[in-house]
Amino acid sequence: MRYLCVISFCLAVIFPALFVWGCAPPDNTDRIDIARALSNNQGMDCYDTVTGPEPLVFPKDAGPHENFRTEWWYYTGNLTTDQGRHFGYQLTFFRQALSCEPVKEDSQWRTRQLYFAHFAVTDTRNKAFHTFFRMNRGSLGIAGSLAQPFTVWIDNWQVKETGSHLTLDALSDEISLSLTLTQEKPPILQGERGFSRKGPGTGNASFYFSLPRLHTQGFITLGGNRFQVTGNSWFDHEWSTTVLGEDVQGWDWFSAHLADGRDLMVCRIRKADGTSNGFGFGSISFADGNYVILSETDFTLTPKARWKSPETGKRYPVQWQIRIPDHDLDLSVSPVIDNQEHTHAFAYWEGAMRFSSPGVQGMGYLEMTGY
């Protein structure tokens, strides 16, 4: 569930990017009123909206859905070297349509699709978190996405389907990631066969599917050293137009690969008062690839300890307890390191986590927004 996240990115990142062409962090005070912009559905009539289940077709639905406003491809994973050194990584691509009107075709620079991406590596041993940001227009092949072969890219950050694998490449000045991902389980169609409700209003929903377990191997280059790594990744692909309900403050999203072969995802959407909006969701995928969809009543999420960001001053609950009684799960969740906050134009926390219960251990990711 990253719907809110994307919208917020669009508003907080893209627009400031238009307003402040530069690397100075924007102060958003008089520039943008997120809530106003969200409730402003002017000129949105011509977008497609998500109102009910529709059959998802592959490979078509792996690619972009340009007539929806927002879309993302989200890769997170935990990797270790032979010596057991742990790294977390995140590579996420977002597509945001600027308009649903047709584009004037007098210049090839014209476009209505905007792409941006976050790339992060958590270096657990050095307690270091590296995060990078890219954004560009979907013109001239600088950035874009394709259904077949599945590809999504900005500059030379890209995920591309090659044969039965996916190759994932991202590099910044000091860190590069070059991974091969192999799908181990069939996709999970989240919610109602891929139709995932996020709020009470019509259209407060998205199309959402996940690849819960992608066997991952490849290389991380960091500080001039190249590490061969293996591990598991989680992939989400989600698209929508008018996702947010009223009064939404943020969300807490968890994914975990458990040692017993189960893969877990739970998320709750918080209202301004901090309580859940009742549209939390989740899924458990079993070692054999079968899965069950969870609703908010199936689990409880309890924040345990908070960490205060020295940079933004935000206080994120980085320690959690997850209880899913039906599946006999009572997991303590703690971060591999506390500081995994993205401090680009829009600050949020997303990082590698350890999941442990008396019976089973696992590694996963947590995303927290709206703090």
Partner 1 sequence: MGNYPLILVCLRHSRRHLVRTLLLIFGIAMGVAGVVAIDIAKTSVEKSFELSTRELVSRSTHQITGTGLTIPQDLFTDIRKDLGIHRSAPVISRHVKVSQLGDRILTLMGVDPFSETHFRNLHISPGKQDLSGIMTGSDGVLISRSLARQYNLDIGSPLDIFLGSRRTPVTIAGFLDSENSSAGRMLEGLVITDISLAQVILEMGDHITRIDLILDGDGPAEKIQDLIGEDLFLVETDQQNLAVRGLSQSFETSLTAFSMLALFMGIFLIYNTVSFSVTRRHRLHGILRAIGATRSNIFFTVMAEVMVYALIGSVFGVLLGILLGNGAVQAVVATVSEMYFTLTVSQTHISGFTIAKGLLAGILAAFVSGFFPALSAAGTRPVSLMHRTVSEKGFNRVVPGLFIWGLLLLTSAGLLMRTAPTHAGSDFTGLFMIFFGAALLTPLLIRILVRIFLAAGMGALGMMVKMALRNIIRSLRQTSVLMASLMVVTSVYIGIEVMTGSFRLSIIQWVDDHIGGDIHVSSADLLARSLDPDLVDKIRHLPQVTSLSAYNIHPVFSRASGKVHLFSYQSDQSVKRWSWTAAPKEELDALLEEGWIFVSEIFARQHNVMPRQGAAAVLETQKGPVSFKVAGIFRDFFMGGGRVVVSPDTMARYWGHDDITALQLFLASGTPPEPVINTIRQMLDPKDMIEIRSGNAIKHSILAVFDNTFIITSALQVLTAIVALTGILNAVTALLLERTREIGILRACGTLTSQVRQLLLHECFFYGLLSGIMAIPLGTALSWVLIHIINQRAFGWTYDMVLTPGVFFQAIALSSAAALAAGIFPALAAGRTHISTALHME
Binds partner 1 by CB under 8 A, chosen from 36, 55, 82, 141: 141
Taking CA atoms, 134 is separated from 7, 46, 154, in Å, by 17, 28, 7
Show Cβ contacts of residue 107 under 8 Å, excluding neighbours closer than 6 positions. Answer: none
Show Cβ contacts of residue 61 under 8 Å, excluding neighbours closer than 6 positions. Answer: 147, 207, 209, 237
Minimum CB distance to partner 1 smaller for 137 or for 271: 137
Minimum CB distance to partner 1 smaller for 294 or for 347: 347
Cα(312)–Cα(348) distance, integer angstroms: 10
Cα(56)–Cα(267) distance, integer angstroms: 22
Size of residue set near partner 1 by CB under 8 A: 38
Q: How far is CA 333 from the centre of its chain?
A: 19
Binds partner 1 by CB under 8 A, chosen from 28, 48, 53, 137: 137
We find the least distance from the C-beta atom of residue 137 to partner 1, in angstroms, to be 6
Q: Which amino acid is at 245?
A: G
Stretch that binds partner 1, among 150-158, 235-243, 250-258, 274-282 (CB under 8 A): 150-158
29 binds partner 1 (CB under 8 A): no
**For residue 267, which phi and psi values (nearest 5 degrees)?**
-150, 140
Taking CA atoms, 310 is separated from 127, 217, 277, 333, in Å, by 15, 34, 29, 22
276 binds partner 1 (CB under 8 A): no
Minimum CB distance to partner 1 smaller for 40 or for 51: 40
Binding mask 84-113 for partner 1 (x = CB under 8 A): --------------xx-x-xx-xxxxxxx-
Task: Give residues 203-262 in contact with partner 1 (rule: CB under 8 A).
Answer: none
Taking CA atoms, 231 is separated from 50, 87, 139, 157, 180, in Å, by 34, 9, 35, 20, 11
14 binds partner 1 (CB under 8 A): yes
Length of the chain as a residue count: 371
DSSP letters of 206-243? EEEEEEEEEEEEEEEEETTEEEEEEEEEEEEEEEESS-
Minimum CB distance to partner 1 smaller for 134 or for 270: 134
Minimum CB distance to partner 1 smaller for 108 or for 164: 108
Return the closest-CA partner of residue 13 out of 152, 118, 100, 89. 118
Minimum CB distance to partner 1 smaller for 136 or for 249: 136
20 binds partner 1 (CB under 8 A): yes
Binding mask 169-208 for partner 1 (x = CB under 8 A): --x-x-----------------------------------
44 binds partner 1 (CB under 8 A): no
10 Å CB burial of residue 164 (0-12, 13-18, 19+) is exposed
Binding mask 117-136 for partner 1 (x = CB under 8 A): -----------------xxx
Binds partner 1 by CB under 8 A, chosen from 22, 55, 163, 313: 22
140 binds partner 1 (CB under 8 A): yes
We find the least distance from the C-beta atom of residue 319 to partner 1, in angstroms, to be 35
Minimum CB distance to partner 1 smaller for 151 or for 190: 151
Cα(114)–Cα(139) distance, integer angstroms: 9
Return the closest-CA partner of residue 300 out of 271, 276, 317, 316. 276
**Interface residues toward partner 1, by CB under 8 A:** 14-15, 17-24, 31, 43, 98-99, 101, 103-104, 106-112, 114, 134-137, 139-142, 153, 155-156, 171, 173
